[in-house]
Amino acid sequence: MITPNVLPLSLGLVIFSFLITSVLVVPFIDLLYKLKLTRRKEAPKRGKVPLFDKLHDIKAGTPIGGGILLVSVVTILFAVLFPLVRYLGVYIQSSFNLNIELFIIFFTFISFGFLGLSDDLVKIFGKGRTGIRPLGIAYGLTRKQKFGLQWVLALFISWVIYRYLGVQILHIPLLNKVINLGFWYIPFSATVIVAFTNAFNFTDGLDGLASGLLLICLAAFGVIAAGSLDTPLSIFISLWMGAVIAFLYFNVYPARIFLGDAGALSFGAMLAVIGLLTGSIIGLIVIGGIFVVEAASSAIQIVGWKVLHRPILPLAPIHHALLAIGWEEPKIVMRAWIAGAILAIFGLWLATI
């Protein structure tokens, strides 16, 4: 059951966040150009140019940092508007301790954003090194550095959810089975957070792909949060949706701005935490099914190099493989959105039975 004031409030916040972000995004793009926060060419200056660089170095010079704007706008609006709606008499309802839930939302969104920002800055201004792609050059934090810091943050967030919110169960829909994980909920939920953080990051490789899929996921989880009478999450998701819609206008092909890791890591982790807080982990896997497929294709490619010493796909993740065999970028993105919408409807059904 949805309380009477949640739906109009949520829709109003989507529009308000959209308008604020729309006003800021063009000046922010100009600022990124001035600060030279733009994508660099990654192809080696001599020798064979890897297929990935042939397909993507055309995007060099496009500003990276949309995630900085979105994380900042959503965080500030949420910090200002949430106390305001309480003051104006909107009934705030949550299944958890309100202060702890707010802490988890803010900490996840901001901490993973800072981690991604660090990676973006090293990518743009740091020196390249030999990548995992043959003859390629990699930029940014090393895999161990980024992965290790993700686990530290995810384990802390999971511990707070377990210790202070008392969450420790896994609900399996259709089977109508509830598994009490006890202390093992901490490594389990940390795995979910790290997995979706990287899955979102892998997916953010074509213009509008990850942002459009995120918008679909947020619409589904907005319904779930409202249905579970979680007002803080409903407000946060609404503000996030509005900002993403404004950003997506400039991120669709040909993109004028990219999210960067500041957005990708923050958004992936936050999406996972929303799934955990709503108790819809299975629903999360289905609703975010395209992210799961993208991560799985990357894992398959890594196994191919490690075990077979050759690639299994032309490129990874799968959207790059489709690009490599001749699919046009907008075609890949649009079809992914359609598949994401169907998965979101199915996941929403699972989460509500």
For residues 90 and 6, what is the distance between their CA atoms, to the nearest angstrom?
9
> How sure is the predictor about 2, in pLDDT bands with cuts at 50, 70 and 90?
very low
For residues 167 and 192, what is the distance between their CA atoms, to the nearest angstrom?
14
Query: How would you label 195-233 residue by residue, b for 16+ Cβ within 10 Å and e otherwise?
Result: bbbbbbbbbbbbbbbbbbbbbbbbbbbbbbbbbbbbbbb
Residue 159, C-beta contacts closer than 8 angstroms, at least 6 positions apart: 186
Q: Select the highest-mean-pLDDT range: 168-172, 329-333, 349-353.
A: 329-333
Lowest mean pLDDT among 136-150, 162-176, 229-243: 136-150
Note whether 201 and 264 are within 8 A (CB): yes
Q: Select the highest-mean-pLDDT range: 43-47, 178-182, 341-345.
A: 341-345
What's residue 281's pLDDT?
Answer: 93
Lowest mean pLDDT among 173-177, 180-184, 276-280, 338-342: 173-177
Q: What is the mean pLDDT of residues 24-36?
A: 96
Average pLDDT, the chain: 90
Note whether 325 and 314 are within 8 A (CB): yes
Q: What is the mean pLDDT of residues 314-326?
A: 91
For residues 106 and 74, what is the distance between their CA atoms, to the nearest angstrom?
10
Residue 63: φ, ψ to 5°: -60, 140
Q: What is the mean pLDDT of residues 70-77?
A: 98
What's residue 309's pLDDT?
Answer: 85
Position 69 pLDDT exceeds 80: yes
Output the six-digit token pair for 209. 């792909």
> How sure is the predictor about 294, in pLDDT bands with cuts at 50, 70 and 90?
very high
- Check residues 97 and 51 and name the one with the higher pLDDT: 97
Lowest mean pLDDT among 47-51, 96-100, 199-203: 47-51
- For the chain, domain boundaries: 6-352
Q: Where are the alpha helices (DSSP H) in the chain?
A: 6-34, 51-56, 66-87, 98-125, 143-164, 185-203, 209-227, 231-251, 260-277, 281-287, 289-303, 318-324, 329-352
Output the six-digit token pair for 152. 């530290």
For residues 316 and 323, what is the distance between their CA atoms, to the nearest angstrom?
10
For residues 73 and 90, what is the distance between their CA atoms, to the nearest angstrom?
22
> How sure is the predictor about 123, in pLDDT bands with cuts at 50, 70 and 90?
confident
Name the 3-class secondary structure at 258.
strand
- Check residues 141 and 263 and name the one with the higher pLDDT: 263
- Check residues 94 and 50 and name the one with the higher pLDDT: 94
Position 312 pLDDT exceeds 50: yes
Position 73 pLDDT exceeds 90: yes
Beta strands 169-172; 177-180: pairing state: antiparallel
Give the single-character DSSP code of 130: E
- Check residues 156 and 178 and name the one with the higher pLDDT: 156
Q: How much of the chain exceeds pLDDT 90, in percent? A: 72
Name the 3-class secondary structure at 129.
strand
Lowest mean pLDDT among 38-47, 167-176, 240-249, 276-285: 38-47
> How sure is the predictor about 1, in pLDDT bands with cuts at 50, 70 and 90?
very low
pLDDT in tens, 193-234: 999 999 999 999 999 999 999 999 999 999 999 888 899 999
